[in-house]
């Protein structure tokens, strides 16, 4: 008998992804499923998918999944987690979902220190709706609603939601990673592992922002899109641990 060296993670269903070629969601889904399996929390995990490209995430993860309206992931996750505090609850949200329409829900969930994990996929555009400007669209980036490129006077500068969340006292772990290379994919997995573990230990709000390629809307090949993250996107959104207070001595409940 041969030992498999690579196979579908236990908590991904055996269905093909609908994502575009070169899209980062497929990689990120896989990483989350691997982390759920390795932490052995598949039977107690509840996921909250967003509106956006990952809206069909409930068809892929083989854990309980409850759909939220656009931007409301953190509010729905809050409701679930407060009723079932011993379960593991994560929301999966895009940049438009979390950093535009759902900014309030996200900041306040973090500020309350809700013991949930947020996966924030930043591809610097509204992918599902056809590539419009996102709050995270970088300066100069052309989108269908910034045909001349994003300019600060006209459109404002890209929002750094993760930094804003880090200011919220209830957040304990915020890291920005990327999936544009194997090294960064492995780093992303480590960050996810850390975020879910923080929740398992009741530490509070954790968020992993993942820079993700959108070759379709960036009008680049998948390989070019990976390079674009490395060269361009990380200038605005540098990869780093933004906050790590998992082991900090906290005064009273977060």
Partner 1 sequence: MADKVLMRGTHVIAESAIRSGCRFYAGYPITPQNELPEYMAEAMMAIDNATFIQAESEIAAINMVLGASMAGARAMTSSSSPGISLKQEGISFLAAQELPAVIVNCMRGGPGLGNIAPSQGDYFQATRGGGHGDYRSIVLAPATGQELADFTARAFDLADRYRSPVVLLIDGMMGQMMEPVVPPEFVNEADMPYRNWILDGARDRPSRIIKSLILDPAKEEEHNWKLYRKYENITKELQITEAYQVDDARLVVMAYGTAARIAKGAIKRVREIGLKVGLLRPLTLWPFPARAVEDASRFVKEFLVFEMNTGQMVEDVRLALKHRSEVHFYGRPGGVVSTPDEIAKVITSLYYRLHLEEEQ
If one asks whether residue 68 binds partner 1 (CB under 8 A), the answer comes out as yes
Nearer to partner 1, 27 or 68 (CB): 68
The residues facing 206 across adjacent strands are 117, 173
128 binds partner 1 (CB under 8 A): no
Q: Would you count residue 222 as binding partner 1 (CB under 8 A)?
A: no
Q: Does 37 bind partner 1 (CB under 8 A)?
A: no
104 or 167: whose CB is closer to partner 1?
Answer: 104
Task: Determine the distance from the C-alpha atom of residue 15 to the mean position of all C-alpha atoms in its chain, rounded to a whole number.
Answer: 21
Tokens of 78: 């809050």
| 42, 132, 149, 227: which one binds partner 1 (CB under 8 A) | 42
Q: Is 63 in the site for partner 1 (CB under 8 A)?
A: yes
Pick one of 8, 10, 38, 69: the residue that binds partner 1 (CB under 8 A).
69
Alpha-carbon separation of residue 113 from 87, 185, 212, 254 (angstroms):
16, 27, 26, 5
Q: Are 76 and 94 in contact (CB under 8 A)?
A: no
Under rule CB under 8 A, residue 105 binds partner 1? yes
State the DSSP code for 10: T
Q: Is residue 169 a contact residue for partner 1 (CB under 8 A)?
A: no
Q: What angle do CA 187, 192, 198 make, to 5 degrees?
A: 125
Residue 141 is a binding residue for partner 1 (CB under 8 A): no
Question: Does 97 sit near partner 1 (CB under 8 A)?
Answer: no
Pick one of 34, 67, 232, 244: the residue that binds partner 1 (CB under 8 A): 67
Choosing from 65, 193, 220, 227, the residue that interacts with partner 1 (CB under 8 A) is 65
In 123-218, beta strands by DSSP E: 125-126, 132-133, 171-178, 205-211
Rule CB under 8 A: is residue 79 a binding residue for partner 1? yes
Q: Which residue in 108, 169, 187, 190 binds partner 1 (CB under 8 A)?
A: 108
167 binds partner 1 (CB under 8 A): no
Closest CA to 94 of 232, 210, 233: 210
Which residues, 6+ apart, have CB-to-CB distance to 106 below 8 Å? 73, 74, 93, 98, 99, 118, 161, 165
Alpha-carbon span 109 to 68, nearest angstrom: 15
Q: Which residues bind partner 1 (CB under 8 A)?
A: 42-46, 48, 51, 55-56, 58-59, 61-69, 72, 75-84, 87, 104-105, 107-108, 112
């Amino acid at each position: 008998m041969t030992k498999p060296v690579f196979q579908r993670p236990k908590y991904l269903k055996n269905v093909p992804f609908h994502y575009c070629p070169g899209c980062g969601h497929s990689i990120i889904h896989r990483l989350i499923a691997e982390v759920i399996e390795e932490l052995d929390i598949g039977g107690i995990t509840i996921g909250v998918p967003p509106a956006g490209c990952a809206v069909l995430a409930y068809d892929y993860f083989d854990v309980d999944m409850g759909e939220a309206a656009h931007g409301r992931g953190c509010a729905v996750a809050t409701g679930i987690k407060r009723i079932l505090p011993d379960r593991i609850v994560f929301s999966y949200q895009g940049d438009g979902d979390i950093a535009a329409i759902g900014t309030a829900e996200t900041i306040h969930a973090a500020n309350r220190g809700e013991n949930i994990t947020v996966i924030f996929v930043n591809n610097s555009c509204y992918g599902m709706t056809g590539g419009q400007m996102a709050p995270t669209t970088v300066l100069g980036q052309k989108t269908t609603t910034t045909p001349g490129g994003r300019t600060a006077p006209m459109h404002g500068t890209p929002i750094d939601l993760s930094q804003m969340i880090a200011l919220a006292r209830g957040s304990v772990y915020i890291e920005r990673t990327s999936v544009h290379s194997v090294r960064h994919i492995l780093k992303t997995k480590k960050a996810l592992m850390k975020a879910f573990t923080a929740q398992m230990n009741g530490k509070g709000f954790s968020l992993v922002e993942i820079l993700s390629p959108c070759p379709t809307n960036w009008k680049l090949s998948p390989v070019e899109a990976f390079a674009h993250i490395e060269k361009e996107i990380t200038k605005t959104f540098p990869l780093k641990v933004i906050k790590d207070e998992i082991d900090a001595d906290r005064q009273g409940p977060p």
